[in-house]
A and B are shown apart, each in its own frame.
Chain A
Amino acid sequence: MTSAAELGRPALIAALAFASGGGVLCAVGAMRGRSDLTRAGVRALVATFALTSLATAGLLYALLTRDFSFEYVSAYSSRSLPVGYTFSALWGGMEGSLLFWTLLLTGFAAFAVRGADRRGSRLVGWAGAVLAAAIAFFLLLLVIPADPFTRLAQIPADGRGLNPLLQSPGMMIHPPLLYTGFVGFSIPFAFAMAALLSGRLDEAWFTSTRRWALFAWSALSVGIVLGGAWAYTELGWGGYWAWDPVENASFLPWLTATAYLHSVVIQEKRRMFKVWNISLILMTYALAIFGTFLTRSGLLSSIHTFTEGPIGKWFLPFIGLMLIGGLALIALRYDSLRSDNQLDSMLSRESAFLANNVLFLAAAVAILWGTIYPVIAELFTGVRLSVGPPFFNTVFVPTGLALILLTGLGPLISWRRMSKGALLRIVRGPLIAGSVTIFVLAVVGVRSLGAMVAFGLCAFSFAAIGAEFARGSGVYRRRGMGTLQALNETVARNRRRYGGYVIHLGVLLIVIGFAGAAFNKEVARPLQLGDSINIGAYTMTYANFRQDSTPEKEIFEAEIEVTRGGSYLTTLYPQRNVHIAQGQPQSEVGIRTTPVEDLYVVVSSVDPDGTIGFRAFVNPLTWWIWAGAVVMVLGMWVVLSGDLPVAVPVSKPARSFEPGVVKA
């Protein structure tokens, strides 16, 4: 059978050729200072993107036309799969997800190097070469060990279908967002390496890729939260984060990237921390690739099962080469990367940023250690171990709380130095807010120390950020503007700074949601029709059930009447459905969500007589996690939608910027 998808494999092979050729042209162009060669290399990268798009379109066509002669199509889709979720099948399997990754990488690379070339950036040659090398690696995977276009000798009548857990709207956007985040960090990484290779170690490498870094970080942040939201609403275990190795794999680069976004501000303002910044972006990219490796190598046991495919071993040399190459370059250029300034005082914005970085990195190191410890232990002692959530909570909660304190404190401290008296004056308000919060919580009988500290610190930082907004908008209010107009003007005039504060506010709200978990309640019991069960102030009665079936699944829906204090509150309809193709049961939870608390009910099993295995949770404040994420997205929009001009250095700039790269 001929199909448009036949073009897929030749397109990938041609893309590999263009990427290799483009990489060589870019590198030679950069070495010889021949911009004509570099430009040809850039065009080759654009062609690589076009060819990869063609291959992706081919696979998508095969999926949409249900061409089960392709092994991939028969493994991850079926005739009854809705069209919308057929797109999810594109990244539902290993080969497809690698193709999707490569599509993003070639697209981002083409846009970034073309843009940089037009602005006349002198980093473009080396950046193009580094990106081409990464692209060639992934294309090589797609051509040799992970070919998405493998044909089957015998064509099955129907495919095996997509995992029902992935058939949810959240799962349509969660993987692409994570991939966008991971892949997006390739751009700042490539320009950092280009700065090292070319010896142009001014600020151009990060100012010209700042939008990419922010964009990648935003996508990764939203992707992680959506993953949690999906786990919460689809998996029916009442939680959203389990410190599973696969979750950690996405969180580790987020930690180092967050540290990076903060520490580049110091390099911009004070020309300090240069080695640190390059190292952070190297670490972020290495961790993003490491996460991909970890999830596909079968090295660690995870609740998320990925094919323990043959591609794991391909990643190790790639990561090794990248890390050794990156570190060797940093060592080589170490003398040019000296700080132009020294820390003036321990009590300064610089040291607050430094503390922020140390904390983020400490959290990353500890979590990385916990994640790979089982592998190390097995290597040395032969005993297989498993590291559980208590380890991760113990290392992360204190560092997280210290970071919450800094969220409020950092922006209050002035650059270079500040007197203790001035600091005390400025933190008085927030300190009162925090203390009052803890006092009130203690009086109303809250006994969880961790939660009290978390709420207190959040109150402190809310007050501090609020004060920043009040100070900023005060100028405009004195000119006669209304409060809202003045706030709007303040944010519009300095989007980066106030957008950052909005993101911080979102993070604080999320922390409130996390802290609420200290008060979670749970009950589990089999219920016969008419039985009642209590949790917290709620009484739930199993009033009725309904059965139905569709071509996709058999539906069982319980009707749970909820009363509080004797009066009717709501009715929840949790489902337990069996997907026919896979024979897999799936719970649809019933949730009544309010800012105060979620009532979350699950049918965990169904007996033939209608008796259900019933589980209910009361999760206080969980709503604030999702609300905080929305606020974060708002902040990201504020930052990304404006120009990102380079901030004015505090001391005189050591050198001027390249023309044309001032606006990122």
Chain B
Amino acid sequence: MVVILIGLVVWATTRQGSISFYMTPTELLAAGDAQPSDSYRVNGEVVPGSISKDGLSTSFTISDGTTEIDVVTDRPLPDTFMERSDVVARGNYDGAVFTADEVLAKCPSKFKAKA
């Protein structure tokens, strides 16, 4: 039984999209394009004034205070997405632009982080 459970967990771990690297823009830049095809999640704050839209495609810049990274996505954005919101973008980085398959903005639900 335990063996089956471990097997299931290992199998699940190897599935596409199960595990991704979770990084700040600084860490992502340091990792460079060593693993360009890997799936990343990058977390940062949306830089005010950086949001621009072109049809369904949106581009914006996220920052962790020291490093900024340009993100582009053609996916719809959540309600909580706006300037200064804390977002997690999932996708790939080619060394210049982060192409996101999904952008999540932390919902300031319940216990709002102190500004």
Chain A interfacial positions (CB closer than 8 Å to B): 75-76, 91-94, 97, 160, 163, 165-166, 175, 235-237, 296, 301-309, 358, 362, 365-366, 369-370, 374, 383-392, 394-395, 398-399, 524-526, 583-587, 602, 604-605, 607, 613, 615
B56 touches A398 (CB 8 A): no
A305 touches B76 (CB 8 A): no
Least CB distance from A548 to B in Å reads 19
Q: Report the contact-size class of chain B (Cβ under 8 Å from the partner).
A: 35 or more
Least CB distance from A232 to B in Å reads 14
Query: Which DSSP category, helix, strand, loop or mixed, fits chain A's interface?
Result: mixed
B17 touches A366 (CB 8 A): no
**Known contacts A237-B78, A390-B18; A301/B113 CB under 8 A:** no
- CB neighbours (8 Å) of B11 from chain A are 394
B19 touches A365 (CB 8 A): no
Docked Cα-Cα span, A602 to B9, in Å, equals: 36
**Known contacts A385-B21, A525-B56, A613-B56; A390/B12 CB under 8 A:** yes
Docked Cα-Cα span, A387 to B19, in Å, equals: 5
- CB neighbours (8 Å) of B109 from chain A are 163, 165-166, 304-306
Extra pairs beyond A93-B111, A236-B78, A369-B9 (7, CB < 8 Å): A301-B88, A302-B106, A384-B23, A388-B90, A391-B18, A395-B12, A586-B79
A362 touches B19 (CB 8 A): no
B16 touches A304 (CB 8 A): no
Q: Which of B53, B82, B107 contacts A585 (CB 8 A)?
A: B82
B22 touches A374 (CB 8 A): yes
12 contacts between A and B (CB under 8 A): A166-B110, A235-B79, A305-B112, A305-B113, A306-B110, A369-B9, A386-B41, A388-B17, A391-B13, A391-B18, A399-B8, A613-B56
- CB neighbours (8 Å) of B45 from chain A are none
- CB neighbours (8 Å) of A383 from chain B are 21
Q: Which of B17, B75, B90, B114 contacts A307 (CB 8 A)?
A: B114
Least CB distance from A13 to B in Å reads 24
Q: Which of A306, A385, A390 contacts B111 (CB 8 A)?
A: A306
A394 touches B15 (CB 8 A): yes
Docked Cα-Cα span, A237 to B75, in Å, equals: 11
Least CB distance from B47 to A in Å reads 17
Task: Rank and list the top 9 A-B pairs by shortest CB-CB distance, nearest first.
Answer: A394-B12, A391-B18, A306-B111, A386-B22, A384-B22, A604-B76, A307-B111, A305-B106, A390-B17
Closest residue of A by beta carbon distance from B74:
A524
Closest residue of A by beta carbon distance from B20:
A386
Q: Which of B16, B77, B104 contacts A390 (CB 8 A)?
A: B16
B22 touches A97 (CB 8 A): no
Least CB distance from A24 to B in Å reads 34
- CB neighbours (8 Å) of A607 from chain B are 53
Q: Which of B8, B78, B107 contacts A394 (CB 8 A)?
A: B8
Docked Cα-Cα span, A585 to B86, in Å, equals: 15
Q: Which residues of chain B from 55 to 99 have any CB-CB distance to chain A below 8 Å in the complex? A: 55-56, 75-80, 82, 86, 88, 90
**Known contacts A386-B22, A390-B16, A394-B8; A163/B108 CB under 8 A:** yes
- CB neighbours (8 Å) of B27 from chain A are 384
Docked Cα-Cα span, A630 to B21, in Å, equals: 40
- CB neighbours (8 Å) of A305 from chain B are 86, 106-109, 111-113
B110 touches A236 (CB 8 A): no
A388 touches B18 (CB 8 A): yes
- Does B1 touch A at the CB level, under 8 Å? yes
- Does B5 touch A at the CB level, under 8 Å? yes
- CB neighbours (8 Å) of A399 from chain B are 8
B82 touches A92 (CB 8 A): no
A97 touches B110 (CB 8 A): yes
Docked Cα-Cα span, A91 to B111, in Å, equals: 9
